[in-house]
C-alpha cells in the first residue's frame, strides 16, 4: 500500500507539471494575441519551474527513509542561560518551518531552562519527506550576538546541538528483541491534574541494544509521560524505541560512507559545527557548502528551505561524482 501511495505522488507530480505546462502554452498564445500580459506569462513559467524543481528534489531524496517523518531533538550547549535561550530560538525556527511546509509537529519532550529558554526539546514531525529535508540539520548550530543576559553587553558565542532521526513506521523493518526490554512505571509530574500525580501512568523502558558490529551492549532509556493512559504511553515508548534502534543501525551505514569521502555535505557527524548565525552582521553561514544568507530574521522565522535545497543539491553532486570514480 505504501509503495502505491509513493507512486501516486510521482504521478500527481507529473500531472501537475503537465497541466501547468499546458497553461503556460495557452498563456503564451494569448500573449501573442495581446489578451494577457507578459507578467502573467512569467508567472505561469515560474509555476512550471517550481513544480519541476519539486520533482527533481524528490528524485534526489531517494533513500528508503527520506520519505518518512522525522524526530528532531535540540539540546543546549554549555553556557547556561544564553545557550538555553539559543536552543529555544532554534526550536521556534523549526516549528515555523513545519508550519510553512504543512508538516504537523508534536512536542514529545520539553525541559525549560533555568532562567530562560530550554535545556532540551524533542519534536515529532509528520509529513511527506520531512526526514529527507531535515536530516541535513544534524550538527552543532553556533550563535554570535550581543547577549541580552550579559550586563556588560559583550558579544558572546553559544552552541546548541540538533539531532534528526527518521520517524520509523511499520513499513521499515526494525528488529526489537522482546527479551531485552524491561518496563518500569512511575507517577508523572507536572501539569495534567491530580490523576497525573496519583496514578502510575508514566512508563520507563530500558532496552539492552547489542551493536551487531562491535558486540558491545548499550542501554537505551526511554521515558514517556505524554498521556494519562499507561498503555498509550507504552505504545509511544515502543515507537520511539523502534526509531532509536533504526537510527543506530542506519548510523553505521552513514559512518561507513563518511569514512570514504574526502568532502562531505552531510557526514552524519553530529558534533560537527555546521552553521553560524551572526546577529551583529545579520547573516547565516552554512560551513558545509560555504553558503551565506543575509536575511537572518526571515531565516529564524522558518524560511530555511533555500538553504536545505542547496545542501541536498550539493550532496547529490557528491554522490554522482563518487559513482564516476
178-257: CATH topology is: Double Stranded RNA Binding Domain (3.30.160)
Beta strand 139-146 with 273-278 is parallel
Question: Tell me, what's the pLDDT at 315?
Answer: 87
Question: Tell me, what's the pLDDT at 308?
Answer: 94
What digits encode the pLDDT tens for the residues 299-319? 999 999 999 999 999 988 887
On whether the CB atoms of residues 138 and 266 are closer than 8 A, the answer is yes
* Through-space distance between the first and last CA atoms of the chain, rounded to whole angstroms: 37
**Of 106, 121, 116, the residue nearest 75 (C-alpha):** 121
pLDDT tops 60 at residue 194: no
What digits encode the pLDDT tens for the residues 19-42? 989 999 998 888 888 888 999 999
Distance of CA 103 to the CA centre of its chain: 11
Average pLDDT over residues 108-122: 88
How open is the CA angle 62-105-6, to the nearest 5 degrees?
Answer: 30
Average pLDDT over residues 164-179: 82
Mean pLDDT of the chain: 84
Grade residue 75 by pLDDT with cuts at 50, 70 and 90.
very high
How open is the CA angle 188-125-229, to the nearest 5 degrees?
Answer: 25
* CA gap 145, 158 in Å, rounded: 9
Question: Tell me, what's the pLDDT at 140?
Answer: 94
* CA gap 99, 116 in Å, rounded: 24
Question: Tell me, what's the pLDDT at 183?
Answer: 92
SS3 sequence of 93-135: HHHHHHHHCCCEEEEEEEEECCCCCEEEEEEEEECCCHHHHHH
69-171+262-323: CATH topology is: Alpha-Beta Plaits (3.30.70)
Question: Tell me, what's the pLDDT at 148?
Answer: 85
Residue that is written with C-alpha cell 560512507 in the block = 257
On whether the CB atoms of residues 126 and 139 are closer than 8 A, the answer is no
Residue that is written with C-alpha cell 553532486 in the block = 317
Lowest mean pLDDT among 87-96, 156-165, 222-231: 222-231
What digits encode the pLDDT tens for the residues 209-237? 988 777 889 899 988 877 778 888 888 88
Question: Tell me, what's the pLDDT at 5?
Answer: 65
297 φ/ψ sector (left φ>0, alpha ψ -120 to 50, else beta): alpha
* CA gap 243, 248 in Å, rounded: 9
What digits encode the pLDDT tens for the residues 263-273? 445 544 566 89
* CA gap 57, 186 in Å, rounded: 46
Residue that is written with C-alpha cell 498503555 in the block = 231
Amino acid at each position: 500500500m505504501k509503495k502505491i501511495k509513493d507512486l501516486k505522488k510521482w504521478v500527481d507530480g507529473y500531472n501537475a507539471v503537465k497541466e501547468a505546462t499546458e497553461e503556460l502554452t495557452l498563456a503564451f498564445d494569448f500573449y501573442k494575441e495581446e489578451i494577457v500580459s507578459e507578467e502573467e506569462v512569467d508567472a505561469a513559467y515560474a509555476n512550471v519551474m517550481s513544480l519541476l524543481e519539486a520533482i527533481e528534489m524528490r528524485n534526489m531524496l531517494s533513500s528508503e527513509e527520506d520519505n518518512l517523518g522525522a524526530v528532531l531533538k535540540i539540546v543546549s550547549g554549555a553556557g547556561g542561560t544564553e545557550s538555553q535561550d539559543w536552543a529555544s530560538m532554534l526550536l521556534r525556527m523549526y516549528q515555523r518551518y513545519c508550519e510553512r511546509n504543512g508538516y504537523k509537529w508534536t512536542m514529545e519532550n520539553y525541559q525549560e531552562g533555568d532562567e530562560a529558554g530550554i535545556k532540551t526539546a524533542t519534536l515529532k514531525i509528520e509529513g511527506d519527506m520531512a526526514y529527507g529535508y531535515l536530516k541535513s540539520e544534524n550538527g552543532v548550530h553556533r550563535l554570535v550576538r550581543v547577549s541580552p543576559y550579559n550586563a556588560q553587553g559583550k558579544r558572546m558565542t553559544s552552541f546548541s546541538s540538533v539531532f534528526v532521526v527518521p520517524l520509523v513506521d511499520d513499513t521499515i523493518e526494525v528488529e526489537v528483541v522482546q527479551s531485552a526490554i524491561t518496563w518500569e512505571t512511575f507517577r508523572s509530574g507536572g501539569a495534567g491534574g491530580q490523576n497525573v500525580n496519583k496514578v502510575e501512568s508514566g512508563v520507563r523502558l530500558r532496552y539492552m541494544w547489542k551493536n551487531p558490529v562491535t558486540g558491545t551492549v548499550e542501554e537505551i532509556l526511554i521515558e514517556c509521560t505524554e498521556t494519562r493512559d499507561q498503555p498509550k504511553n507504552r505504545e509511544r515508548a515502543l515507537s520511539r524505541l523502534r526509531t532509536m534502534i533504526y537510527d543506530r543501525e542506519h548510523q553505521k551505514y552513514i559512518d561507513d560512507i563518511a569514512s570514504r569521502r574526502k568532502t562531505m555535505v552531510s557526514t552524519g557527524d553530529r558534533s560537527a559545527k555546521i552553521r553560524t548565525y551572526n546577529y551583529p552582521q545579520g547573516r547565516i553561514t552554512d560551513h558545509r557548502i560555504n553558503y551565506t544568507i543575509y536575511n537572518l530574521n526571515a531565516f529564524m522565522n522558518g524560511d530555511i528551505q533555500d538553504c536545505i535545497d542547496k545542501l541536498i543539491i550539493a550532496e547529490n553532486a557528491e554522490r554522482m561524482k563518487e559513482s564516476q570514480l
